[in-house]
Structure 1
């Protein structure tokens, strides 16, 4: 089944609970310009954090993990030097793919773009990306006892390029016609891309990276400031379950897209909910101090400098940072080491 072949039949009647969440999304979208104007420092901070979360979370979904968070952050910032493991190489590759979509004009949407994202994903490894699969593949589950269960059968290798080109052409036409909600069209495009499964490996990461670009292109920019990949990682079981339910009978033109679209719309609505909460909190009088506390206690390295906090939280003065550090010192949660510019702070483990 090609989801975009008959959209009126497939998504002409939107379930009520999804309509409600789409309204929430559109309300959130309407606030983006206001936040961008009123809270530029917060958005800069959120964007930096979301970038790290998106790269690490989307990679972790596929079992690509760099255990040391500080090492992972250095890789993402391009400061790690030699990449030591395959996981580090793949993490750096996803960084390149995501940064390309967020920082460059990636248009037009075509097969070449999808191939380029795949090439970037593998660019730091010994493998050569950017090529469609040459063998048929299956999406399977492997249980601890070695049993293999087929989740779904992707499009055959011989038809992959044609199906992929057709999907992207129909998606562009559907968005231009504006007959259906743009978020539903993005969700359907992601579903079809995953069923086509155009690559031997890396399909999920390419699809999740492209999801961000398609949403931004459609005018829904929350993924710049709240990591959709992290929200997906936090609900991975539901992510896979709804995808599986909506791929049943895809090849027979009788799949049900609503399990997946319900999850997709709900995840995006949750991102807007999170964005609104953070924006509201930033307007409260004590929020800057709370943000410093949260960073120091949950995100900073075990030993850090004041400059590290300043870099992570642009828009917050050194005076505020020092005030919070003194409070945490009196609470026995951090301790100073050294004085002057060389001074560092050490987080004290709590029972």
Structure 2
């Protein structure tokens, strides 16, 4: 497998997108100087969005609110529905990636291990998790109700998948190490080819997004955990599938057309970056004028995942009515989300 300037036309738009992303990457050291608890809160919200979006792209039905509630009780380690099993596995793998990206090199062994962890709670996938596929599979699109609406494209055969994965991993490692292409272009190509191969029986879409995050972190894009790329993809699913189809149908030809996917990928990264810029700006503005008790409530919400009024009274020692007033202000300013009614009401970070 090969990719060079002849097979990928480096247009002015591609150069501009890369320059903008790299500028933000360099500026993150100064931008990302919020207090650790604030960054932790941003990461938690982005993680919930990523888990919810990535599973829904593949037909899952849990909302971000349901994901947040599930993750607040993640120590259960036993999940009844497939949606819950997929969310729990994705949460574990994302935590592993965020905490240990520097120690997870791109190898076939690590890819298989990540796949095994991703499907660790999925009883239906027990026999094949961590192993390349043994039966043909294809990529399908799903509607908002989780129903399959059509085949997006055919994938590599089970016979060819292992060889193609070996070639892809070797090419990606060499391209990143030798800097023959900008790392964002290398990651874009890895992702689209990985999905064209579809090496595992199930979980390929979710795993592709996990590995994309891993490669971005290993390439120095340290801001990635604080804004959800998966959410961007979910909200542009039609463009996502169209770009995949337009590029993947050409990958095994003499003249691969990388342009559709590379442009979609870089534009999605730009959208992810822009969302984070807005969040950071909002954090700085709100914190400059926010009462100390409100800041404390946000810190506790980031740590605990979800909180009730009674818990906040106990943890802060503040008056119940005072707590309620601060909660109302935080909900109206979209810093907290409110769930349930009456005594069952609880709050979590937005």
The interval holding the TM-score normalised by the smaller chain is 0.7 to 0.9
Structure 2 Cα separation of the partners of residues 263 and 168 of structure 1: 22
Equivalent pair of 1:117/1:130 in contact (CA under 8 Å): yes
Residues 10 and 328 of structure 1: CA distance in aligned 2, closer, same or farther (over 3 Å): closer
Equivalent position of 1:268 in the other structure:
269
Structure 2 Cα separation of the partners of residues 209 and 329 of structure 1: 31
Alignment of 1:53-132 (within 5 A): 53-66=49-62, 69-70=65-66, 72-75=68-71, 78-80=74-76, 82-104=78-100, 105-126=102-123, 127-128=125-126, 129-132=129-132
CA distances 1:182-230 after superposition (whole Å, capped 9, x unpaired): 1111011001100111011111000011110000101112221001111
Shift of 1:53: 1.1
Runs of 4+ in 1 over 4 A off after TM superposition: 140-144, 146-150, 285-290, 299-303, 306-311, 316-323, 326-330, 343-347
Equivalent pair of 2:152/2:241 in contact (CA under 8 Å): no
Structure 1 Cα separation of the partners of residues 206 and 232 of structure 2: 14
SS in 1 for 2:132: coil
Equivalent pair of 1:58/1:230 in contact (CA under 8 Å): yes
Equivalent pair of 2:52/2:67 in contact (CA under 8 Å): no
Structure 2 Cα separation of the partners of residues 134 and 326 of structure 1: 54
Equivalent position of 1:224 in the other structure:
225
Structure 1 Cα separation of the partners of residues 161 and 258 of structure 2: 21
TM-score of the superposition, structure 1-length normalised? 0.79
Equivalent position of 1:324 in the other structure:
326
Equivalent pair of 2:51/2:67 in contact (CA under 8 Å): no
Equivalent position of 2:308 in the other structure:
304
Equivalent position of 1:201 in the other structure:
202
Equivalent pair of 1:28/1:276 in contact (CA under 8 Å): no
Instruction: Judge which range, 167-176 or 105-114, deviates more.
Output: 105-114
Shift of 1:70: 4.3
Residues 66 and 281 of structure 1: CA distance in aligned 2, closer, same or farther (over 3 Å): closer
Equivalent pair of 1:289/1:321 in contact (CA under 8 Å): no
Residues 236 and 287 of structure 1: CA distance in aligned 2, closer, same or farther (over 3 Å): farther
Residues 218 and 310 of structure 1: CA distance in aligned 2, closer, same or farther (over 3 Å): farther
Shift of 1:286: 5.8
Equivalent position of 1:43 in the other structure:
39
SS in 1 for 2:74: coil
- Aligned residue pairs total 326
SS in 2 for 1:139: strand
* Unaligned residue ranges in structure 1 (runs of 5+): none
